[in-house]
Amino acid sequence: MSDGIRVAAVDDVEPGEALVLDVAVTATDEPISLFRDDDGTYYALDDTCSHEDASLADGWVEAGEVECPLHATRFCLSDGKPMCLPATKPVRTHRVEVRGEEVYLFPGVPAGT
C-alpha cells in the first residue's frame, strides 16, 4: 500500500470547514474534498453531490455530516451515505491519516480501511 499523498497541514482546514484538493495532486478524475469536522476529525469525500453537480465543500460541516448547499441533502462524513433526501446514492469516501502536523490522503482507498 502507498504511503499516501500529503494534501494539507493540519491547520490548513479549520474545524467545520472543507478544502477542495487539486486533482493534479490527488491524481484523480473527480475532485476530492478534505473535511474537518467540528471535533477536529478529518474526512475525505468526492466533492460532487450524488444528486446534482454541487460542490460539497461549499456546504455546512457539523456533527459528522456535510450538508449540500444546493438541496440540503446531508451526507455522513465517515461512510458517504446520504442521511436524507433528495440524494439516494452515497458519495465515495477516501482514507485520510494525520501524521504529526500533516494530513495524508489515500485516493481510491475507502475510509476505514
pLDDT at 1 over 80: no
Task: State residue 58's pLDDT score.
Answer: 98
Asked, for residue 85, whether it belongs to a domain, the answer is yes
Does residue 111 sit within a domain?
no
Residue 76, φ and ψ in degrees, nearest 5: -70, 125
Q: What is the pTM of this model?
A: 0.94
Task: Give how far the C-alpha of residue 72 lies from the chain's centroid of Cα atoms, to the nearest Å.
Answer: 16
Q: What is the pLDDT of residues 74-95, one digit of tens each?
A: 999 999 999 999 999 999 999 9
Domain presence at residue 112: no
* Domain membership of residue 49 as a residue range: 5-106
Report the chain's mean pLDDT, rounded to a whole number.
96
Q: Does 60 fall in a domain?
A: yes
| Structural domain count, the chain | 1
Which CATH number goes with the domain that contains 95?
2.102.10.10
* Domain membership flag for residue 42: yes
Rounded to 5 degrees, what angle do the CA atoms 58, 72, 111 make? 65
In contact, 103 and 10? CB cutoff 8 Å: yes
> Is residue 76 assigned to a domain?
yes
73: which residues sit within 8 A by CB, 6+ positions away?
49, 51, 67, 82, 83, 84, 85, 86, 87
Does a structural domain hold residue 113? no
What is the rounded distance in angstroms from the CA atom of residue 63 to the CA atom of residue 72? 15
